[in-house]
Amino acid sequence: MNAAQPASTPAALPLAGITVVDLTRVLAGPACTQMLADLGARVIKVEQPGCGDDARAIGPFVEGVSAYFMSMNRNKESIALDLKDVQDRAIFERLLDSADILAENFRPGTLEKLGYSWEALRARYPRLIFASISGFGQTGPYHRQPAYDMVVQAMSGMMSVTGHGADAPCRVGVSIGDLAAGLYSVIGIQSALMRRMHTQRGERLDVSMLDCQVALLENAVARLEATGSVPNPIGTRHPSMAPFDAYTAQDGRFVIAVGNDSAFVRLCEVLELPALAHDARFATNSTRCEHQAQLKVLLEQRLQQAPRTHWIALLEESGVPTGLYQTVAEMVSHPQVQARHMLTTVITPTGQPLRVASNPLLNATGQSVVRRQPPALDADRAAILQELGM
């Protein structure tokens, strides 16, 4: 764990008392259930006997243990069950007797073939919230097609607005197709829990990775509809605000984000470029966007006369949004990241510590993020069976 954790008395976590039976694997589903676990839910991860979650075999590895798996499965228990085996099915159904949520991210139709359709589950477990995460959802012509993050980034148009040119397609540098679906699933599950307080009934949640990518294309869809022009990749700059980009100073890159005309005037004052504030090409945000290339050249001519820390200090003092361009290695040591406890440590089954991203929702609770280490495959079987009286 981080040496410096919040010192306040821990508050009760919001999902304490909620039980999740977790059939998910790899990323979208485990990201969802890890957040539920971080927020206090009991998450029982049901894995395939022998191999477990596919993520256990995905690198990088720390002493033979997948760092990929470790980063998405803290605070969970593990039991290995074969849902085609009669005895294991009995255990699974006993788990559902006391579960609030069943989460899965199989290809649509998989659980139905095993006898666990929504209709069957709803009849037997009327309060159960059944969350299904898939590439394309439970309906539509593509609903039975497999998908990974790359597929939905490409099909959604996300890749078409990412990078520096249409001739070199570029995916977002993290698996945003999976992570967005995981986050939307958490929102949906918590909304269903709230509704169940009034109705006493569970419901089916149908979360599509492709849908979630489309939902993230706020500006791109609006621009297409408003202007009729197809959005293209434009690198680091903003499509409708300027100057709003990465800039090169004497010793490296940093970003400046000017959101209105008054901030642009302050920027010109800081850079001692008063003529720019009165230049007709840059008088308003719309004209600055039209002439953003010329404006960037003029700004960088000045910015390259001093190191970026010099400019950042002046811009921060004047209230112009700015920040360092950092690598991941630089980010993990940044004082703001450290102060907000956004890194935590999990321990592999072999005792090796591994630093991972933390949960941004837990800063104010005073709770440690890691209350249970990521489980070895089937690690909790004996305790779970004893609890079930089996």
- The CATH number given to whatever domain includes residue 303 is 3.30.1540.10
Tell me, yes or no, whether 160 and 292 share the same domain: no
Answer whether residue 223 is part of any domain: no
Measured distance CA(219)–CA(370) in Å, rounded = 36
Note the pLDDT of residue 10: 54
Measured distance CA(283)–CA(154) in Å, rounded = 38
∠ at Cα 315 (284, 305), nearest 5°?
95
Note the pLDDT of residue 364: 64
Out of 143, 164, 198, 238, pick the active-site residue: 238
Tell me the pairing of strands 65-66 and 76-80: unpaired
Checking if the pLDDT of 13 tops 50, the result is yes
Whichever domain contains 182, its CATH number is 3.40.50.10540
Answer whether residue 299 is part of any domain: yes
Radius of gyration of the chain (CA): 25
Q: What is the pLDDT of residues 54-80, one digit of tens each?
A: 999 999 999 999 999 999 999 999 999
Q: How confident is the model at residue 367 (pLDDT cuts 50, 70, 90)?
A: confident
Tell me, yes or no, whether 169 and 286 share the same domain: no
What range does the domain containing 104 cover? 19-217+352-388
End position of a domain, from candidates 303, 320, 337: 320
Measured distance CA(35)–CA(13) in Å, rounded = 12
Tell me, yes or no, whether 200 and 277 share the same domain: no
Checking if the pLDDT of 84 tops 60, the result is yes
Tell me, yes or no, whether 168 and 76 share the same domain: yes
Tell me, yes or no, whether 292 and 154 share the same domain: no
Checking if the pLDDT of 156 tops 70, the result is yes
- The total number of structural domains in the chain stands at 2
Q: Give the position of tokens 């495959």.
A: 377
Note the pLDDT of residue 166: 73
Tell me, yes or no, whether 116 and 209 share the same domain: yes
> Which two structure tokens, joined as six digits, stand for 276?
């720019």
Tell me, yes or no, whether 195 and 301 share the same domain: no
Answer whether residue 237 is part of any domain: no
Measured distance CA(145)–CA(206) in Å, rounded = 15
Check if 291 is active-site.
no
